[in-house]
Amino acid sequence: MRAWLHQAVDPSARAQGVSLFNLVICGLILIAVLIAVLETEQTLVDQFPVFFYLAEWLFFIVFAAEFCLRVYVAPLNPLFTGRFGRIRYLFSLWALIDLLALLPFLLTGTDVTAYYLRLARLLRVLRIARLGRFTHAWAMLGGAFHARRYELLISALIALLLLLVSSTFLYLLEAEGQPDAFGSVPRALWWSVATLTTVGYGDVTPLTAAGKFFAGITAVAGIGLVAMPTGILAAAFSDAFQKQRGEKQGG
């Protein structure tokens, strides 16, 4: 019985494929997140107060039961065997996230800290990445990031430098005309980050000719800022995919 439950509950218990139990739980997590998102809209809560109240309770019961089940079958996982297996499981990363995601149900709607804790529920969305084939894809993407962490850090460093240089220039050129938007480097950073990431809100734009000239150069540099990490990631993923193919052919 417990072995059968373990097969259904623990995603690492299966060599491949996803159990129906985990599929349903992932679906419920997505629905719970959606409801938590909609619940912040006061007009909806006023329209359907009973629905949200019931949904909160229902999800609390389901997820609490799921949590107990996971604690119950934990010792069957080789990582959590032995006398203190269950306690060690309680302090594992995923169990803590699950626990943290249960807390906001108890504090529902009372104060602001409850909202912060609800963010924990979002982390459970990542649980989907542990299902079946996703584990391989997840490991490959993570490996590609790790293999090129120095290159990515350098491109982040260059981005930081560009942010500081462009906001300093715009501060020097536009501070007089627009003290609210460019009156200091931290203020000019808001414009700078919007331009270099090519978001470009347009709530703040330079007005002087010199300011526009440097802003244009910043915008062009922004292309490089997007192109460099994209290029590094593309090459890193290409490497990782080739290595995977090599392993398949070798195995």
Interface residues for a copy of itself in 13-52 (CB under 8 A)? 33, 36-38, 40-42
Instruction: Choose between 54 and 199: whose C-beta lies nearer to a copy of itself.
Output: 199
Which residues neighbour 237 within 8 Å (Cβ) at sequence distance 6 or greater? 140, 141, 144
> Looking at 66, 232, 248, 251, which residue binds a copy of itself (CB under 8 A)?
232
The reply on whether position 108 binds a copy of itself by CB under 8 A is: no
Binding status of residue 4 toward a copy of itself by CB under 8 A: no
How many residues bind to a copy of itself according to rule CB under 8 A? 83
CA-nearest of 128, 69, 122 to 97 is 122
Tokens of 16: 């491949």
Enter the tokens of residue 221: 């540099």
HSE-up (13 A, CA, CB side) for residue 209:
0
Burial class (CB in 10 A: 0-12, 13-18, 19+), 83: exposed
How are the residues of the chain apportioned to helix, strand and coil, as percentages rounded to the nearest 5? Answer: 80, 0, 20
> Which residue of 1, 3, 15, 220 would you call a contact of a copy of itself, by CB under 8 A?
220
- Eight-class DSSP state of 145: H
Among 48, 53, 84, 201, binds a copy of itself (CB under 8 A): 201
Q: Which is nearer to a copy of itself, 102 or 163 (CB)?
A: 163
Cα three-residue angle 172-177-179, rounded to 5 degrees: 75
Nearer to a copy of itself, 55 or 90 (CB): 55
Q: Which residues ranging from 131 to 170 are in contact with a copy of itself (CB under 8 A)?
A: 133-134, 136-138, 140-141, 148, 150-151, 153-155, 157, 159-161, 164-165, 168
Q: Is 205 in the site for a copy of itself (CB under 8 A)?
A: yes
Number of residues assigned to the chain = 251
C-alpha 200: how far from chain center: 23
Q: By C-beta, is 87 or 176 nearer to a copy of itself?
A: 176
Residues within window 80-99 making contact with a copy of itself, judged by CB under 8 A: none
68 binds a copy of itself (CB under 8 A): no
Check residue 6 for interaction with a copy of itself (CB under 8 A): no
